[in-house]
């Protein structure tokens, strides 16, 4: 009783210090307003994979409030110095990623910075005590979007096997399932990403509330993730059954959002109810509360302000330069040709297209970009570069001797394949993948390069074989641009 009374009296005499972690949250919102604004715009899009983001943040703030007041543990001088150096590095990295418009890195850095700041104020051991709580906002950050394509492929494979298992008359072609009465497409919205992330978040919250160990938390997250995926697979499979039985006339085929969440709830509620409860004392619940001294509060906040201060005083504007005539004189400019596979060029408002027909069976398309404003990305958001609802990739591989990736694609329910050679040029640096291009934009922007280009060569394969077409693509790739 004496310990509790002492802590209670201390909290009354120091109301600001008792709720200091919440004030640190407010400081972060002010310092890094632009990053939080981007996240907020994602959270309020209720049809997106982060529609649960506001709820996760609300739960995080509630749990943070329930842990207050935290206790400060005195540290050696070198520990404080190391903490301040790490905060300075993190804040500077935030400024760099913010300047380069790499949002996902900005957001992940803030998650680490928040833990580092509280660790500098209260001591690393105090922050480590609340490590599970401090990691909770990861479920409100769009890092999970990188799993979409993988989950679409996984869902297509699993559901395809289920359809074959029940001997339903269907043709399965990639992520498309053709039944006698219509076409069912397993698109990005059917990836199950929302169910996966929400299931993981729920499992994580249950693990935190029951104060699970790391080992038990990993088990819970594995089960939760599997349940989220299974819910999505069952949902798609049942929709295919309903579509077949109703000859695609059921209203469920057009409006199946609520059906999916009901199924998700049916699977999750029993698991939540039977989750084992672990009786452990709350962290620091039996420790006399001591509050940090003023220098240990002011110095971390001051160091934290380095990145926002740099962002406020130094916002370089992109250098707009005219496109030089890069194309070889051997190529004949034409009106936009009918590419064998129409490309889905990113919509960013600063696109300039140049089309060139290299020969009778070789087509070249250049999509060229440069930033007009500092808040634009050099490499724009590129979800897909062709219509995946219509075309399927048969094979894809990167080249070792020249930049680019060779892909062989075929129209769904079609026969004649098309060979494609494609690469990305970011300020003079080449990559065969979108992910590589996004990394190269860091180097390009640091060297004040403001041009980005997608180079695509296509050739319709003849007689079902693409060997000759691929050889022609490689040959013409070296003829597109002038010799420098």
Whether pTM exceeds 0.85: no
Domain with 105 in it: 2-130+291-313
pLDDT at 264: 83
Any domain includes 284: no
User: Which strands sit side by side in the sheet containing 176-179, from one edge to the other?
Assistant: 171-173, 176-179, 182-185
Are 115 and 193 in the same domain? no
Q: Looking at 254, 283, 313, which one is the last position of a domain? A: 313
Q: Looking at 281, 313, 345, which one is the last position of a domain? A: 313
Any domain includes 322: no
Are 472 and 346 in the same domain? yes
Are 391 and 305 in the same domain? no
Any domain includes 41: yes
Number of domains forming the structure of the chain: 3
pLDDT at 2: 38
Q: In terms of Cα–Cα distance, which of 210, 259, 253 is closest to 232?
A: 259
Give strand pairing partners of 481.
327
Are 302 and 266 in the same domain? no
Is 159 within 8 Å of 186 (Cβ atoms)?
yes
Distance CA 390, CA 2 (A): 72
Helix and strand numbers (H, E) in the chain are 17, 11
Are 234 and 209 in the same domain? yes
Any domain includes 185: yes
Any domain includes 141: no
Are 185 and 116 in the same domain? no
Q: How far apart are the first and last CA of the chain?
A: 81
Are 185 and 150 in the same domain? yes
Any domain includes 351: yes
pLDDT profile of the chain (484 residues), mean per 10? 38 68 95 92 77 92 92 87 95 90 89 95 91 94 87 89 86 79 78 90 92 90 92 88 80 72 84 71 60 88 94 79 64 67 69 65 82 79 80 84 84 84 88 85 82 87 81 81 59
Distance CA 65, CA 26 (A): 13
Are 210 and 91 in the same domain? no
Distance CA 372, CA 385 (A): 23
Q: In terms of Cα–Cα distance, which of 74, 2, 102 is closest to 295?
A: 74
Are 300 and 199 in the same domain? no
Are 265 and 173 in the same domain? yes
Are 126 and 150 in the same domain? no
Query: Chain-centre distance of CA 186, in angstroms?
Result: 20
Q: Looking at 246, 281, 313, which one is the last position of a domain? A: 313
Contacts for 91 with CB less than 8 Å, ≥ 6 apart = 113, 303, 304, 305, 306, 307, 308
Any domain includes 356: yes
Are 99 and 43 in the same domain? yes
Distance CA 355, CA 365 (A): 5
């Amino acid at each position: 009783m004496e310990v509790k009374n002492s802590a209670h009296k201390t909290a009354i005499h120091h109301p600001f210090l008792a709720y200091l972690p919440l004030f640190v949250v407010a400081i972060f919102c002010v310092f890094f307003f632009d990053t939080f604004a981007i996240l907020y715009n994602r959270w309020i899009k209720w049809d997106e994979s982060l529609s649960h983001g506001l709820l996760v943040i609300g739960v995080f703030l509630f749990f943070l409030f329930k842990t207050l007041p935290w206790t400060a543990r005195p540290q050696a001088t070198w520990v404080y110095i190391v903490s301040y150096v790490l905060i300075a590095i993190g804040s500077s990295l935030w400024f760099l990623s913010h300047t380069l418009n790499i949002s996902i890195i900005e957001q992940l850095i803030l998650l680490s910075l928040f833990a580092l700041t509280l660790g500098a104020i209260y001591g690393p051991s105090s922050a480590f005590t609340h490590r599970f709580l401090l990691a909770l906002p990861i479920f409100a950050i769009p890092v999970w979007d990188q799993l979409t394509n993988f989950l679409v492929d996984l869902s297509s494979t699993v559901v395809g096997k289920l359809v074959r298992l029940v001997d339903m008359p269907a043709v399965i072609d990639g992520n498309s399932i053709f039944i006698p009465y219509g076409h069912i497409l397993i698109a990005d919205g059917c990836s199950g990403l929302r169910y996966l992330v929400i299931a993981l978040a729920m499992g994580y919250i249950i693990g935190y509330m029951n104060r699970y160990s790391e080992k038990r938390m990993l088990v819970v997250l594995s089960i939760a993730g599997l349940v989220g995926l299974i819910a999505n697979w069952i949902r798609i499979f049942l929709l295919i059954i309903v579509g077949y039985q109703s000859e695609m006339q059921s209203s469920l085929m057009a409006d199946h959002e609520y059906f999916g969440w009901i199924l998700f709830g049916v699977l999750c509620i029993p698991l939540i109810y039977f989750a084992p409860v672990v009786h452990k004392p709350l962290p620091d619940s039996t420790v006399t509360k001591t509050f940090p001294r003023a220098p240990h509060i002011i110095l971390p906040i001051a160091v934290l302000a380095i990145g926002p201060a740099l962002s406020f005083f130094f916002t370089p504007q992109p250098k707009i330069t005219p496109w030089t005539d890069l194309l070889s004189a051997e190529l004949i400019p034409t009106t936009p040709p009918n590419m064998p596979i129409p490309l889905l060029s990113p919509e960013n408002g600063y696109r300039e297209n140049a089309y060139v027909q290299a020969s009778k069976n070789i087509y070249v398309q250049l999509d060229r970009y440069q930033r007009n404003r500092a808040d634009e990305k050099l490499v724009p958001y590129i979800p897909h570069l062709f219509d995946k609802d219509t075309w399927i990739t048969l094979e894809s591989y990167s080249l070792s001797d020249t930049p680019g990736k060779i892909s062989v694609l075929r129209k769904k329910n079609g026969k004649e394949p098309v060979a494609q050679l494609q690469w990305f040029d970011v300020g003079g640096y080449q990559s065969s993948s979108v992910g590589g291009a996004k990394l190269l934009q860091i180097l390009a922007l640091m060297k004040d390069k403001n041009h980005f280009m997608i180079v695509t060569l296509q050739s319709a394969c003849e007689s079902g074989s693409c060997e000759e077409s691929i050889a022609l693509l490689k040959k013409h790739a070296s003829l597109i641009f002038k010799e420098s």
